[in-house]
A = this chain, B = another copy of it.
Amino acid sequence: MKNFFRLFLVLCHTILFTSLAQAQSQMPKLSLSEVSSIKWADKRVEWLDKAQANMPELKHTLVKPVAIVEGVADDGAFQGWRMVKSDQAIENFYKTSLKGHAPIILDLGDHYTGYVTFKVNHTGMPADAPVRLKLTFAELPAEVMTPFDPYTGSLSRAWLQDEVITIMRLPDEVKIPRRIACRYVKIEVLAESYFDFVIEDFSFDAVTSATGEPMALSEDCDPMIRRINQVGLKTLAECMQTVYEDGPKRDQRLWIGDLYLEALANAYSYRNHTLTKRCLYLLAALADEDGYLHATVYEYPTPMPQINQHVHDYSLLYGVALLEYFKETGDRQTAEDLWPVVEYQVEFARTYLKDGIYDVNKQPAWWLVFDWKDDLNRATPMQGLMTFCIAKSYELAEMLGYEDREPVKEWEKVLDQMRRASKSELYDKKRGVMLSGEQGQISYLSQAWMTLSDTFSRKEAQRAMRYVLEDESTCYPGSPYAYHYIIEALLHCGMETQARELMLKYWGGMIDKGADTFWEVYDPKDDKRSPYGMHVVNSACHAWSCTPVYFINKYKHIFQ
Protein backbone atom coordinates (compact mmCIF):
# COMPACT_ATOMS: atom_id res chain seq x y z
CA MET A 1 0.00 0.00 0.00
CA LYS A 2 2.88 2.34 0.80
CA ASN A 3 4.31 1.72 -2.63
CA PHE A 4 0.98 2.24 -4.24
CA PHE A 5 0.73 5.68 -2.73
CA ARG A 6 4.28 6.54 -3.54
CA LEU A 7 3.79 5.67 -7.16
CA PHE A 8 0.43 7.34 -7.10
CA LEU A 9 1.91 10.62 -5.94
CA VAL A 10 4.90 10.66 -8.18
CA LEU A 11 2.82 9.93 -11.23
CA CYS A 12 -0.32 11.64 -10.09
CA HIS A 13 -0.11 14.50 -12.52
CA THR A 14 0.81 12.38 -15.48
CA ILE A 15 -1.48 9.45 -14.89
CA LEU A 16 -4.45 11.05 -13.25
CA PHE A 17 -5.54 13.04 -16.19
CA THR A 18 -6.02 10.07 -18.40
CA SER A 19 -6.90 7.39 -15.88
CA LEU A 20 -9.35 9.58 -14.05
CA ALA A 21 -11.01 10.59 -17.23
CA GLN A 22 -11.82 6.93 -17.72
CA ALA A 23 -12.51 6.43 -14.04
CA GLN A 24 -14.91 9.33 -14.11
CA SER A 25 -17.31 7.31 -16.20
CA GLN A 26 -17.33 4.59 -13.54
CA MET A 27 -17.95 7.08 -10.71
CA PRO A 28 -20.88 6.38 -8.44
CA LYS A 29 -23.71 8.33 -9.93
CA LEU A 30 -24.55 10.19 -6.78
CA SER A 31 -25.47 13.63 -7.99
CA LEU A 32 -26.07 16.85 -6.16
CA SER A 33 -29.71 16.77 -7.10
CA GLU A 34 -30.05 13.48 -5.27
CA VAL A 35 -28.69 14.85 -2.03
CA SER A 36 -30.40 18.16 -2.26
CA SER A 37 -33.61 19.58 -3.53
CA ILE A 38 -31.72 22.26 -5.44
CA LYS A 39 -31.03 22.01 -9.16
CA TRP A 40 -27.29 22.10 -9.68
CA ALA A 41 -27.25 23.48 -13.21
CA ASP A 42 -29.43 26.45 -12.24
CA LYS A 43 -27.22 27.19 -9.28
CA ARG A 44 -24.00 27.03 -11.28
CA VAL A 45 -24.75 30.24 -13.18
CA GLU A 46 -25.99 32.05 -10.08
CA TRP A 47 -22.90 31.01 -8.12
CA LEU A 48 -20.54 32.10 -10.86
CA ASP A 49 -22.29 35.47 -10.98
CA LYS A 50 -21.82 35.82 -7.24
CA ALA A 51 -18.16 34.86 -7.55
CA GLN A 52 -17.64 37.54 -10.20
CA ALA A 53 -19.65 40.13 -8.26
CA ASN A 54 -17.20 39.70 -5.39
CA MET A 55 -14.12 40.31 -7.51
CA PRO A 56 -11.76 42.41 -5.41
CA GLU A 57 -10.07 45.52 -6.68
CA LEU A 58 -6.32 45.24 -6.72
CA LYS A 59 -4.24 47.76 -4.81
CA HIS A 60 -1.28 49.04 -6.84
CA THR A 61 2.03 50.12 -5.34
CA LEU A 62 4.91 51.54 -7.34
CA VAL A 63 8.12 49.81 -6.36
CA LYS A 64 11.63 50.82 -7.43
CA PRO A 65 14.81 48.76 -7.13
CA VAL A 66 16.67 49.63 -3.95
CA ALA A 67 20.10 48.20 -4.75
CA ILE A 68 22.37 46.56 -7.24
CA VAL A 69 23.47 43.22 -5.80
CA GLU A 70 25.83 40.41 -6.58
CA GLY A 71 25.48 36.71 -5.86
CA VAL A 72 28.10 35.07 -3.66
CA ALA A 73 28.41 31.29 -3.52
CA ASP A 74 28.28 30.28 0.14
CA ASP A 75 27.76 26.75 1.45
CA GLY A 76 26.39 28.22 4.63
CA ALA A 77 23.67 30.19 2.85
CA PHE A 78 20.24 28.85 1.90
CA GLN A 79 20.57 26.78 -1.27
CA GLY A 80 24.23 27.86 -1.49
CA TRP A 81 23.84 31.52 -2.47
CA ARG A 82 23.61 34.86 -0.71
CA MET A 83 23.35 38.35 -2.13
CA VAL A 84 25.64 41.26 -1.25
CA LYS A 85 25.20 44.88 -2.16
CA SER A 86 27.40 45.97 -5.03
CA ASP A 87 29.70 48.97 -4.83
CA GLN A 88 27.50 50.63 -7.41
CA ALA A 89 24.74 52.79 -5.96
CA ILE A 90 21.31 52.12 -7.45
CA GLU A 91 21.08 55.77 -8.55
CA ASN A 92 24.00 55.13 -10.91
CA PHE A 93 22.23 52.23 -12.56
CA TYR A 94 20.08 54.51 -14.68
CA LYS A 95 23.19 56.15 -16.08
CA THR A 96 25.15 52.93 -16.56
CA SER A 97 25.98 52.21 -20.20
CA LEU A 98 24.75 48.68 -20.82
CA LYS A 99 26.74 48.22 -24.01
CA GLY A 100 29.00 45.24 -23.40
CA HIS A 101 28.06 45.26 -19.73
CA ALA A 102 28.12 42.09 -17.64
CA PRO A 103 24.78 40.90 -16.21
CA ILE A 104 23.34 43.23 -13.57
CA ILE A 105 21.08 42.13 -10.72
CA LEU A 106 18.61 44.62 -9.28
CA ASP A 107 17.14 44.10 -5.82
CA LEU A 108 13.59 45.31 -5.16
CA GLY A 109 14.28 45.02 -1.42
CA ASP A 110 11.41 42.60 -0.79
CA HIS A 111 9.17 40.12 -2.58
CA TYR A 112 6.64 41.67 -4.95
CA THR A 113 4.00 40.43 -7.35
CA GLY A 114 3.09 42.53 -10.33
CA TYR A 115 4.16 44.06 -13.59
CA VAL A 116 7.55 45.23 -14.80
CA THR A 117 8.01 48.28 -16.99
CA PHE A 118 11.26 49.91 -18.00
CA LYS A 119 12.52 52.50 -20.42
CA VAL A 120 15.47 51.88 -22.71
CA ASN A 121 17.21 54.72 -24.47
CA HIS A 122 20.33 55.32 -26.47
CA THR A 123 22.92 57.73 -25.18
CA GLY A 124 24.65 59.74 -27.84
CA MET A 125 23.93 58.50 -31.32
CA PRO A 126 20.61 56.86 -32.10
CA ALA A 127 20.33 53.08 -32.13
CA ASP A 128 21.11 51.59 -35.53
CA ALA A 129 19.85 48.12 -34.59
CA PRO A 130 17.56 46.34 -32.16
CA VAL A 131 18.61 45.40 -28.66
CA ARG A 132 17.96 41.93 -27.28
CA LEU A 133 17.74 41.51 -23.54
CA LYS A 134 17.18 38.59 -21.25
CA LEU A 135 15.47 39.35 -17.97
CA THR A 136 15.39 36.81 -15.20
CA PHE A 137 13.05 37.40 -12.29
CA ALA A 138 13.69 35.42 -9.14
CA GLU A 139 12.23 35.10 -5.69
CA LEU A 140 15.42 33.68 -4.18
CA PRO A 141 19.19 34.26 -4.47
CA ALA A 142 19.83 30.70 -5.66
CA GLU A 143 17.10 31.06 -8.26
CA VAL A 144 18.72 34.10 -9.85
CA MET A 145 22.19 32.52 -9.70
CA THR A 146 21.34 29.03 -11.01
CA PRO A 147 21.15 28.52 -14.78
CA PHE A 148 17.64 27.30 -15.63
CA ASP A 149 18.90 25.13 -18.47
CA PRO A 150 19.31 22.25 -18.85
CA TYR A 151 16.02 22.14 -17.04
CA THR A 152 15.39 18.97 -15.08
CA GLY A 153 12.10 19.92 -13.44
CA SER A 154 8.87 18.04 -13.98
CA LEU A 155 6.63 21.11 -14.24
CA SER A 156 6.57 23.34 -17.31
CA ARG A 157 9.87 25.16 -17.82
CA ALA A 158 7.73 28.15 -18.74
CA TRP A 159 6.96 28.79 -15.06
CA LEU A 160 10.54 29.94 -14.66
CA GLN A 161 10.54 33.66 -15.02
CA ASP A 162 13.05 34.46 -17.72
CA GLU A 163 12.01 36.42 -20.75
CA VAL A 164 13.93 37.25 -23.91
CA ILE A 165 12.83 40.48 -25.52
CA THR A 166 13.75 42.30 -28.70
CA ILE A 167 13.50 46.08 -28.61
CA MET A 168 13.33 47.18 -32.21
CA ARG A 169 13.62 50.92 -31.74
CA LEU A 170 15.01 53.14 -29.04
CA PRO A 171 13.83 54.94 -26.98
CA ASP A 172 11.12 52.51 -25.98
CA GLU A 173 9.13 51.62 -22.94
CA VAL A 174 9.00 47.89 -22.41
CA LYS A 175 6.30 46.16 -20.44
CA ILE A 176 6.81 42.50 -19.67
CA PRO A 177 3.40 40.98 -20.48
CA ARG A 178 3.43 38.23 -17.83
CA ARG A 179 2.83 38.96 -14.19
CA ILE A 180 6.03 38.51 -12.20
CA ALA A 181 6.71 37.42 -8.62
CA CYS A 182 10.21 38.27 -7.53
CA ARG A 183 12.67 40.17 -5.45
CA TYR A 184 15.63 39.99 -7.84
CA VAL A 185 15.83 41.04 -11.49
CA LYS A 186 18.80 39.99 -13.59
CA ILE A 187 19.38 41.95 -16.79
CA GLU A 188 21.56 40.44 -19.50
CA VAL A 189 22.37 42.02 -22.85
CA LEU A 190 22.11 39.29 -25.50
CA ALA A 191 22.53 41.48 -28.57
CA GLU A 192 23.54 45.06 -29.17
CA SER A 193 25.20 47.17 -31.79
CA TYR A 194 27.56 50.14 -31.93
CA PHE A 195 25.54 52.54 -29.85
CA ASP A 196 25.44 53.01 -26.10
CA PHE A 197 22.21 52.56 -24.23
CA VAL A 198 20.83 52.70 -20.73
CA ILE A 199 17.77 51.64 -18.81
CA GLU A 200 16.46 55.07 -17.87
CA ASP A 201 13.72 53.92 -15.57
CA PHE A 202 12.63 50.66 -13.98
CA SER A 203 9.27 50.26 -12.26
CA PHE A 204 7.48 47.42 -10.61
CA ASP A 205 3.71 47.83 -10.31
CA ALA A 206 3.05 45.62 -7.29
CA VAL A 207 -0.49 44.30 -6.89
CA THR A 208 -2.46 42.64 -4.10
CA SER A 209 -6.04 42.52 -2.93
CA ALA A 210 -4.95 42.54 0.73
CA THR A 211 -6.13 45.95 1.87
CA GLY A 212 -7.17 45.56 5.52
CA GLU A 213 -4.94 46.62 8.40
CA PRO A 214 -3.56 43.67 10.39
CA MET A 215 -3.65 43.89 14.18
CA ALA A 216 -0.53 45.07 15.98
CA LEU A 217 1.21 42.42 18.06
CA SER A 218 1.67 42.92 21.77
CA GLU A 219 4.59 45.17 22.57
CA ASP A 220 6.62 42.55 24.38
CA CYS A 221 6.20 39.95 21.67
CA ASP A 222 9.26 37.79 20.98
CA PRO A 223 11.20 39.39 18.07
CA MET A 224 11.30 36.11 16.15
CA ILE A 225 7.52 35.69 16.48
CA ARG A 226 7.19 39.28 15.32
CA ARG A 227 9.34 38.56 12.27
CA ILE A 228 7.48 35.30 11.52
CA ASN A 229 4.20 37.22 11.65
CA GLN A 230 5.56 39.92 9.36
CA VAL A 231 6.82 37.44 6.76
CA GLY A 232 3.58 35.46 7.05
CA LEU A 233 1.56 38.61 6.39
CA LYS A 234 3.73 39.40 3.36
CA THR A 235 3.32 35.84 2.07
CA LEU A 236 -0.45 36.04 2.42
CA ALA A 237 -0.70 39.48 0.82
CA GLU A 238 1.37 38.37 -2.18
CA CYS A 239 -0.98 35.41 -2.70
CA MET A 240 -4.14 37.49 -2.32
CA GLN A 241 -4.96 38.55 -5.83
CA THR A 242 -8.33 38.12 -7.56
CA VAL A 243 -8.47 34.73 -5.84
CA TYR A 244 -6.43 33.21 -3.06
CA GLU A 245 -3.59 31.94 -5.19
CA ASP A 246 -1.37 29.09 -4.06
CA GLY A 247 1.73 30.94 -5.23
CA PRO A 248 2.13 34.13 -7.23
CA LYS A 249 5.12 32.76 -9.16
CA ARG A 250 3.92 29.30 -9.98
CA ASP A 251 0.42 27.88 -10.39
CA GLN A 252 -1.10 31.29 -9.66
CA ARG A 253 -4.45 29.73 -8.99
CA LEU A 254 -7.05 28.77 -6.48
CA TRP A 255 -6.74 25.38 -4.79
CA ILE A 256 -9.14 24.30 -2.05
CA GLY A 257 -6.39 23.36 0.40
CA ASP A 258 -4.64 26.70 0.04
CA LEU A 259 -7.92 28.59 0.20
CA TYR A 260 -8.76 27.01 3.54
CA LEU A 261 -5.48 28.05 5.15
CA GLU A 262 -5.33 31.49 3.50
CA ALA A 263 -8.88 32.23 4.62
CA LEU A 264 -7.92 31.29 8.19
CA ALA A 265 -4.92 33.64 8.10
CA ASN A 266 -6.95 36.38 6.41
CA ALA A 267 -9.58 36.16 9.16
CA TYR A 268 -6.86 37.05 11.65
CA SER A 269 -5.16 39.77 9.59
CA TYR A 270 -6.54 41.62 6.56
CA ARG A 271 -10.14 40.44 7.05
CA ASN A 272 -10.91 40.78 3.30
CA HIS A 273 -13.77 38.32 3.58
CA THR A 274 -15.26 39.07 0.19
CA LEU A 275 -12.25 37.34 -1.35
CA THR A 276 -13.07 34.21 0.66
CA LYS A 277 -16.70 34.48 -0.44
CA ARG A 278 -15.67 34.84 -4.09
CA CYS A 279 -13.46 31.76 -3.90
CA LEU A 280 -16.12 29.62 -2.21
CA TYR A 281 -18.66 30.51 -4.92
CA LEU A 282 -16.12 30.05 -7.72
CA LEU A 283 -15.23 26.53 -6.60
CA ALA A 284 -18.90 25.63 -6.20
CA ALA A 285 -19.82 26.95 -9.63
CA LEU A 286 -17.05 24.95 -11.26
CA ALA A 287 -17.62 21.56 -9.60
CA ASP A 288 -18.13 18.66 -11.97
CA GLU A 289 -21.59 17.82 -13.26
CA ASP A 290 -22.31 15.54 -10.34
CA GLY A 291 -21.20 18.05 -7.75
CA TYR A 292 -17.74 16.76 -6.90
CA LEU A 293 -15.45 19.77 -6.42
CA HIS A 294 -12.42 20.24 -8.58
CA ALA A 295 -9.34 20.76 -6.47
CA THR A 296 -8.29 23.78 -8.51
CA VAL A 297 -9.91 26.22 -10.89
CA TYR A 298 -8.71 28.93 -13.29
CA GLU A 299 -10.02 32.44 -13.65
CA TYR A 300 -8.67 33.21 -17.10
CA PRO A 301 -9.49 33.50 -19.94
CA THR A 302 -12.84 32.44 -18.44
CA PRO A 303 -13.49 30.71 -15.14
CA MET A 304 -13.04 26.98 -15.64
CA PRO A 305 -11.95 23.99 -13.61
CA GLN A 306 -8.88 21.86 -14.09
CA ILE A 307 -11.07 19.10 -15.44
CA ASN A 308 -10.76 15.75 -13.63
CA GLN A 309 -8.39 17.31 -11.12
CA HIS A 310 -10.01 16.07 -7.92
CA VAL A 311 -8.23 15.82 -4.57
CA HIS A 312 -10.20 13.93 -2.00
CA ASP A 313 -8.74 15.53 1.11
CA TYR A 314 -9.21 18.97 -0.41
CA SER A 315 -12.85 18.53 -1.39
CA LEU A 316 -13.73 17.57 2.18
CA LEU A 317 -11.93 20.65 3.54
CA TYR A 318 -14.29 22.87 1.53
CA GLY A 319 -16.98 22.41 4.19
CA VAL A 320 -14.54 23.40 6.93
CA ALA A 321 -13.61 26.54 4.98
CA LEU A 322 -17.31 27.43 4.62
CA LEU A 323 -17.90 26.83 8.32
CA GLU A 324 -15.02 29.12 9.30
CA TYR A 325 -16.22 31.78 6.87
CA PHE A 326 -19.72 31.66 8.34
CA LYS A 327 -18.36 31.88 11.88
CA GLU A 328 -16.22 34.91 10.99
CA THR A 329 -18.78 36.83 8.99
CA GLY A 330 -22.22 35.59 10.08
CA ASP A 331 -23.05 35.52 6.35
CA ARG A 332 -25.88 32.96 6.59
CA GLN A 333 -27.00 33.56 3.00
CA THR A 334 -23.70 32.27 1.58
CA ALA A 335 -23.60 29.34 3.99
CA GLU A 336 -27.15 28.32 3.03
CA ASP A 337 -26.45 28.83 -0.67
CA LEU A 338 -23.39 26.63 -0.66
CA TRP A 339 -24.56 24.02 1.82
CA PRO A 340 -25.51 21.50 -0.91
CA VAL A 341 -21.90 21.48 -2.06
CA VAL A 342 -20.70 20.56 1.40
CA GLU A 343 -23.34 17.91 1.74
CA TYR A 344 -22.34 16.37 -1.57
CA GLN A 345 -18.66 16.17 -0.66
CA VAL A 346 -19.49 14.30 2.55
CA GLU A 347 -21.98 11.97 0.91
CA PHE A 348 -19.63 11.24 -1.94
CA ALA A 349 -16.80 10.48 0.50
CA ARG A 350 -19.12 8.17 2.41
CA THR A 351 -19.29 5.92 -0.64
CA TYR A 352 -15.60 5.24 0.04
CA LEU A 353 -16.26 3.96 3.55
CA LYS A 354 -15.94 0.25 4.23
CA ASP A 355 -16.84 -0.72 7.77
CA GLY A 356 -16.10 2.81 8.94
CA ILE A 357 -12.69 3.03 7.24
CA TYR A 358 -11.88 5.13 4.16
CA ASP A 359 -10.94 2.61 1.52
CA VAL A 360 -7.88 3.88 -0.34
CA ASN A 361 -8.09 0.90 -2.68
CA LYS A 362 -11.56 1.65 -3.93
CA GLN A 363 -11.64 2.72 -7.56
CA PRO A 364 -11.46 5.34 -8.82
CA ALA A 365 -8.78 6.25 -6.32
CA TRP A 366 -8.22 9.96 -5.94
CA TRP A 367 -5.15 12.07 -5.46
CA LEU A 368 -4.60 12.76 -1.75
CA VAL A 369 -2.31 15.73 -1.20
CA PHE A 370 -1.70 16.07 2.58
CA ASP A 371 1.95 17.02 2.19
CA TRP A 372 4.85 17.22 -0.26
CA LYS A 373 6.26 13.96 1.06
CA ASP A 374 6.46 10.97 -1.21
CA ASP A 375 6.98 8.47 1.58
CA LEU A 376 3.92 9.49 3.59
CA ASN A 377 1.31 6.76 3.71
CA ARG A 378 -1.94 8.62 3.31
CA ALA A 379 -4.50 5.99 4.43
CA THR A 380 -4.73 6.90 8.11
CA PRO A 381 -4.28 10.66 7.61
CA MET A 382 -7.23 10.44 5.20
CA GLN A 383 -9.29 8.51 7.73
CA GLY A 384 -8.59 11.24 10.30
CA LEU A 385 -9.17 14.11 7.91
CA MET A 386 -12.46 12.69 6.71
CA THR A 387 -13.66 12.30 10.28
CA PHE A 388 -12.59 15.86 11.07
CA CYS A 389 -14.31 17.26 7.99
CA ILE A 390 -17.60 15.42 8.58
CA ALA A 391 -17.57 16.67 12.16
CA LYS A 392 -17.00 20.25 10.98
CA SER A 393 -19.61 19.90 8.23
CA TYR A 394 -22.06 18.65 10.85
CA GLU A 395 -21.25 21.68 12.98
CA LEU A 396 -22.13 23.85 9.98
CA ALA A 397 -25.38 21.92 9.52
CA GLU A 398 -26.25 22.56 13.13
CA MET A 399 -25.58 26.28 12.75
CA LEU A 400 -27.93 26.29 9.77
CA GLY A 401 -30.51 24.11 11.55
CA TYR A 402 -30.12 21.29 9.04
CA GLU A 403 -29.06 18.60 11.48
CA ASP A 404 -32.36 16.73 11.32
CA ARG A 405 -32.49 16.61 7.53
CA GLU A 406 -31.69 13.60 5.44
CA PRO A 407 -28.87 12.62 5.04
CA VAL A 408 -27.29 14.89 7.67
CA LYS A 409 -29.03 13.22 10.50
CA GLU A 410 -26.99 10.08 9.78
CA TRP A 411 -23.66 11.87 10.14
CA GLU A 412 -23.29 11.61 13.91
CA LYS A 413 -23.62 7.90 13.55
CA VAL A 414 -21.08 7.88 10.73
CA LEU A 415 -18.64 9.84 12.85
CA ASP A 416 -19.06 7.45 15.74
CA GLN A 417 -18.51 4.49 13.45
CA MET A 418 -15.41 6.02 11.88
CA ARG A 419 -13.82 6.89 15.19
CA ARG A 420 -14.51 3.44 16.58
CA ALA A 421 -13.14 1.78 13.45
CA SER A 422 -10.00 3.90 13.60
CA LYS A 423 -9.41 2.92 17.18
CA SER A 424 -10.02 -0.75 16.55
CA GLU A 425 -8.28 -1.09 13.18
CA LEU A 426 -5.46 1.49 13.13
CA TYR A 427 -4.48 2.17 16.72
CA ASP A 428 -1.36 0.63 18.21
CA LYS A 429 -2.44 0.74 21.85
CA LYS A 430 0.93 -0.37 23.09
CA ARG A 431 2.85 2.55 21.58
CA GLY A 432 -0.15 4.85 21.64
CA VAL A 433 0.01 5.80 17.96
CA MET A 434 -2.06 5.38 14.84
CA LEU A 435 -0.50 3.24 12.12
CA SER A 436 -1.00 3.72 8.43
CA GLY A 437 -0.92 1.27 5.55
CA GLU A 438 0.22 -2.30 5.37
CA GLN A 439 3.64 -1.47 6.76
CA GLY A 440 2.09 0.27 9.72
CA GLN A 441 3.80 3.60 9.12
CA ILE A 442 3.92 5.99 12.08
CA SER A 443 3.70 9.55 10.85
CA TYR A 444 3.15 12.97 12.34
CA LEU A 445 0.15 13.46 10.09
CA SER A 446 -1.66 10.29 11.16
CA GLN A 447 -1.48 11.44 14.78
CA ALA A 448 -2.36 15.04 13.92
CA TRP A 449 -5.49 14.14 11.98
CA MET A 450 -6.64 11.65 14.60
CA THR A 451 -6.16 14.44 17.15
CA LEU A 452 -8.03 17.07 15.16
CA SER A 453 -10.89 14.65 14.46
CA ASP A 454 -11.30 13.86 18.13
CA THR A 455 -10.75 10.21 17.40
CA PHE A 456 -8.15 10.43 20.12
CA SER A 457 -9.08 11.58 23.59
CA ARG A 458 -7.05 14.58 24.71
CA LYS A 459 -4.77 12.32 26.67
CA GLU A 460 -4.32 9.84 23.81
CA ALA A 461 -3.61 12.70 21.48
CA GLN A 462 -0.90 14.11 23.73
CA ARG A 463 0.68 10.68 23.98
CA ALA A 464 0.64 10.17 20.21
CA MET A 465 1.95 13.64 19.44
CA ARG A 466 4.72 13.25 21.98
CA TYR A 467 5.67 9.96 20.40
CA VAL A 468 6.25 11.44 16.96
CA LEU A 469 7.98 14.53 18.37
CA GLU A 470 10.42 12.33 20.26
CA ASP A 471 10.91 9.41 17.88
CA GLU A 472 13.22 10.38 15.08
CA SER A 473 12.21 7.43 12.91
CA THR A 474 8.66 8.66 12.38
CA CYS A 475 7.64 10.05 9.03
CA TYR A 476 8.06 13.78 9.53
CA PRO A 477 6.25 16.53 7.59
CA GLY A 478 7.78 17.87 4.39
CA SER A 479 5.90 21.10 3.87
CA PRO A 480 4.54 24.08 5.75
CA TYR A 481 1.09 22.84 4.72
CA ALA A 482 1.56 19.68 6.78
CA TYR A 483 3.19 21.61 9.62
CA HIS A 484 0.07 23.73 9.89
CA TYR A 485 -1.99 20.71 10.87
CA ILE A 486 0.68 19.47 13.28
CA ILE A 487 0.67 22.84 15.10
CA GLU A 488 -3.13 22.92 15.05
CA ALA A 489 -3.22 19.42 16.49
CA LEU A 490 -0.72 20.31 19.25
CA LEU A 491 -2.88 23.30 20.19
CA HIS A 492 -6.03 21.15 20.01
CA CYS A 493 -4.74 18.72 22.61
CA GLY A 494 -3.27 21.40 24.86
CA MET A 495 0.41 21.02 23.96
CA GLU A 496 0.86 24.74 23.68
CA THR A 497 4.55 24.89 24.54
CA GLN A 498 5.36 22.30 21.89
CA ALA A 499 3.23 24.13 19.34
CA ARG A 500 5.10 27.39 19.98
CA GLU A 501 8.47 25.66 19.91
CA LEU A 502 7.69 23.84 16.69
CA MET A 503 6.61 27.05 14.99
CA LEU A 504 9.73 28.87 16.15
CA LYS A 505 11.87 26.00 14.98
CA TYR A 506 10.26 25.46 11.56
CA TRP A 507 9.12 28.90 10.40
CA GLY A 508 11.92 30.53 12.44
CA GLY A 509 14.30 28.27 10.52
CA MET A 510 13.14 29.87 7.27
CA ILE A 511 13.59 33.32 8.80
CA ASP A 512 17.12 32.41 9.87
CA LYS A 513 17.82 31.38 6.29
CA GLY A 514 16.71 34.76 4.99
CA ALA A 515 13.10 34.19 3.93
CA ASP A 516 11.24 37.29 2.72
CA THR A 517 8.16 35.12 2.25
CA PHE A 518 7.50 31.57 3.38
CA TRP A 519 8.34 28.78 1.01
CA GLU A 520 6.19 26.10 -0.55
CA VAL A 521 8.64 23.41 0.50
CA TYR A 522 11.00 23.57 3.44
CA ASP A 523 12.91 20.61 4.70
CA PRO A 524 15.44 21.81 7.30
CA LYS A 525 17.59 18.84 6.32
CA ASP A 526 17.65 19.57 2.59
CA ASP A 527 17.53 23.15 1.28
CA LYS A 528 17.21 22.08 -2.32
CA ARG A 529 14.38 19.59 -1.86
CA SER A 530 11.82 19.91 -4.62
CA PRO A 531 8.71 17.90 -5.43
CA TYR A 532 9.37 18.86 -9.05
CA GLY A 533 12.89 17.67 -9.74
CA MET A 534 14.62 21.09 -9.60
CA HIS A 535 14.61 23.55 -6.72
CA VAL A 536 14.45 26.65 -8.91
CA VAL A 537 10.86 25.84 -9.88
CA ASN A 538 9.71 25.64 -6.25
CA SER A 539 7.50 28.50 -5.17
CA ALA A 540 9.21 30.68 -2.56
CA CYS A 541 6.06 32.54 -1.64
CA HIS A 542 3.36 30.02 -1.00
CA ALA A 543 -0.03 30.58 0.50
CA TRP A 544 -0.15 27.42 2.54
CA SER A 545 2.94 28.56 4.43
CA CYS A 546 1.41 31.76 5.79
CA THR A 547 -0.57 30.26 8.69
CA PRO A 548 1.67 31.46 11.54
CA VAL A 549 -0.34 34.67 11.01
CA TYR A 550 -3.43 32.71 12.04
CA PHE A 551 -1.81 31.03 15.02
CA ILE A 552 -0.01 34.13 16.36
CA ASN A 553 -3.06 36.35 16.15
CA LYS A 554 -5.66 33.80 17.25
CA TYR A 555 -3.73 32.27 20.13
CA LYS A 556 -2.18 35.49 21.43
CA HIS A 557 -1.58 34.17 24.93
CA ILE A 558 0.55 31.38 23.52
CA PHE A 559 2.51 33.08 20.75
CA GLN A 560 2.79 36.81 21.51
Contacts and interface: CB of A to CB of B under 8 A. Distances in A.
Chain A interface category by residue count: 35 or more
Contact of A304 (B126, B164, B192, B308): B126
Number of copies: 2
Contacts of A128: 13, 306, 309
B129 A159 contact: yes
A158 B304 contact: no
A168 interface: yes
Given A166-B163, A169-B300, A178-B168, A192 B156 contact: yes
A258 B466 CA distance: 85
A493 B399 CA distance: 105
Contacts of A305: 126
A377 B557 CA distance: 91
B301 A169 contact: yes
Prevailing SS type, chain A contact patch: loop
Nearest to A126: B304
A258 to B, nearest CB: 15
A191 B157 contact: yes
Nearest to A192: B156
Most buried by B among A13, A129, A131, A170: A129
A298 B169 contact: yes
Nearest to A166: B158
Contacts of A131: 156, 158
A309 B195 CA distance: 12
Given A156-B132, A169-B300, A125 B13 contact: no
A73 interface: no
17 contacts: A14-B194, A17-B125, A17-B195, A124-B307, A125-B306, A126-B298, A126-B305, A128-B309, A132-B156, A151-B191, A155-B193, A156-B193, A158-B192, A158-B193, A166-B177, A166-B178, A169-B298
